[in-house]
Structure 1
Amino acid sequence: MLDKQSAIPIYVQIEDFLKEQIAQGVYPVKSLIPSERELTDMFGVSRMTVRQSLTNLVKDGLLYREKGRGTFVAEEKMEQPLNGLTSFTEDMKERGLVPGTKLISFSKIHPEPQIAARLGISPDELVYKVVRIRYADDTPMAIERSYLPVELFPTLTEEALQGSLYAFIEKQEKLVIGQATQRMEAALAKTEDAGYLQIALPAAVVLIERVSALMDGRIFEVVRSTYRADRYKFISEIGR
């Protein structure tokens, strides 16, 4: 099973073995893998070597630990391209997943100065503040807090927000979406967001702020999203 004469470190060989077992379905998603002691006996190596292998696989997102229960196989992360302006609903449907939305709140507010500046409006103007949990196959993937000028979308309703906002803008409002600017950063989940996303603290998340414009240049949306870092990886194609 292991080649102790190989130049490949033993802990790497153990990682490769477990990766192969997972790929072959021996250990399905969310299944419990053997304990450190069981793996130590299986491979005839030190517990420290096994622990290093498992720690590396956890860092790579292939496994996850639950205190007092053991180590489990993680769900595969979804790749999210950074080129192309699409909605969450469109992204999930393209992957063959069932998108879902839970509307947490829908209100009219006077925006904080930074949001107003992003939208290019006065803080005295009203905006919709929309808070939604976004699901893929009933699994919470992200929490979105969107801000949209009321003047631009006077007919926006809670019903429209149960589906794709972009579809509402293009099909109902007959407006053409142009481009967006996104800012990304890593962070630790706040307690409120961890509850929405059903993740245990401390947990890493990816924060994304998107400022979107119509084809005529008018800013129609500022959305601040918190994505589960254990379910997403972001990719970008770069040319020289």
Structure 2
Amino acid sequence: MRNKYSAIYHDLADKIIHHIYPVGSYLPSETQLAQLYGTSRETIRKALSALLTNGFIQKIRGKGSVVLNLQRFNFPVSGITSFKELNQSQHMNSSTKVLCIEDQYVPLEKFDYQSDSDLAATYVERLRIVNDEPIVLDRDYILKDCVSKIPYEVAADSLYAYFEGKLGLKISYATKTITVEHPTKEETQLLALEPHQDVVVVRSQTYLEDTTLFQFTESIHRPDKFNFVDFARRQKIN
């Protein structure tokens, strides 16, 4: 069951997506929303904060929360978010096509990672589709030392929901590299790219709470469908 602020967030997001609150308009004030949903202003602030984080609104001092253009989806650079979670938070209404599940060794040269031995993994390749358009090609290498086998139905749904909910793994942190690259012929076809259109590639290495490396990921994004966003705080270095 969703908590109160999450339910309000999803309701407001639906209204923005369906243009009940059109681009450039302002949401009702916190007080008005609290009355509308029969809740506290603190709960409304949490819902608005989630809308802000996911790119639905921008807060303008003295005016309120203005609705932003949602032509692109926001990809959180600094966080660890599964595609299913991204789909739910941004109402993408996506589907997943599993292209491959097989045993492979991690191509360490792709990830600029050094190891004294080959790393055995389950390779999972999936195509993410939104509104009948392919937008992301995900290639995951899950180390056999951590997860011995991945069922097809898990790959079609959510790896992280399975890892955390079923296997009890505690996913903690990741290192990421983001580059703009020219796609291969196969990637161009799978993502329905225009000739000479480049892609944004996010390569990551993900670790468990005990610092065990368990996953390598290569996510190939259509650049016309995503904004890559981060939260940065000013830190002066003397």
- TM-score by shorter chain over 0.5: yes
8 A contact 2:182–2:198 mirrored in 1: yes
8 A contact 1:211–1:219 mirrored in 2: yes
Mean Cα displacement is larger for which, 188-197 or 221-230?
A: 188-197
Q: 1:163 maps to what in 2?
A: 157
Shift of 1:204: 2.0
8 A contact 1:189–1:205 mirrored in 2: yes
Shift of 1:194: 1.3
Q: 1:178 maps to what in 2?
A: 172
8 A contact 2:111–2:203 mirrored in 1: no
Q: 2:189 maps to what in 1?
A: 195
Q: 2:127 maps to what in 1?
A: 133
Residues 37-93 of structure 1: per-residue CA shift (max 9 Å, x gap)? xxxxxxxxxxxxxxxxxxxxxxxxxxxxxxxxxxxxxx8121222232110111011
Shift of 1:215: 0.8
AA aligned to 1:159 is: E
2:93 maps to 1:102: no
Distance in 2 (CA, whole Å) between partners of 1:115 and 1:186 is 14
2:206 maps to 1:212: yes
AA aligned to 2:163 is: I
Larger Rg: 1
2:65 maps to 1:89: no
Q: 2:38 maps to what in 1?
A: none
8 A contact 1:118–1:222 mirrored in 2: no
2:145 maps to 1:151: yes
8 A contact 1:118–1:211 mirrored in 2: no
Distance in 2 (CA, whole Å) between partners of 1:94 and 1:116 is 29
2:77 maps to 1:77: no
Distance in 2 (CA, whole Å) between partners of 1:156 and 1:213 is 18
Shift of 1:192: 0.8
Distance in 1 (CA, whole Å) between partners of 2:96 and 2:87 is 12
8 A contact 2:108–2:114 mirrored in 1: no
Unpaired segments of 5 or more residues in structure 2? 1-22, 25-69
Structure 1 residues 27-46: aligned runs within 5 Å? none
Shift of 1:117: 7.7
Label 1:200 to 1:117 Cα distance change in 2 as closer, same or farther (>3 A): closer
Label 1:140 to 1:116 Cα distance change in 2 as closer, same or farther (>3 A): closer
8 A contact 1:115–1:222 mirrored in 2: no
SS at match of 2:152: coil
Mean Cα displacement is larger for which, 104-113 or 144-153?
A: 104-113
Label 1:236 to 1:116 Cα distance change in 2 as closer, same or farther (>3 A): closer
Aligned length: 167
8 A contact 1:204–1:230 mirrored in 2: no
C-alpha RMSD over aligned residues: 2.3
Shift of 1:189: 2.4
Distance in 1 (CA, whole Å) between partners of 2:138 and 2:82 is 12
8 A contact 2:122–2:149 mirrored in 1: no
AA aligned to 1:171 is: G
What TM-score, normalized to structure 1?
0.64
Label 1:136 to 1:121 Cα distance change in 2 as closer, same or farther (>3 A): farther
Label 1:140 to 1:232 Cα distance change in 2 as closer, same or farther (>3 A): same
What TM-score, normalized to structure 2?
0.64
8 A contact 1:100–1:135 mirrored in 2: yes
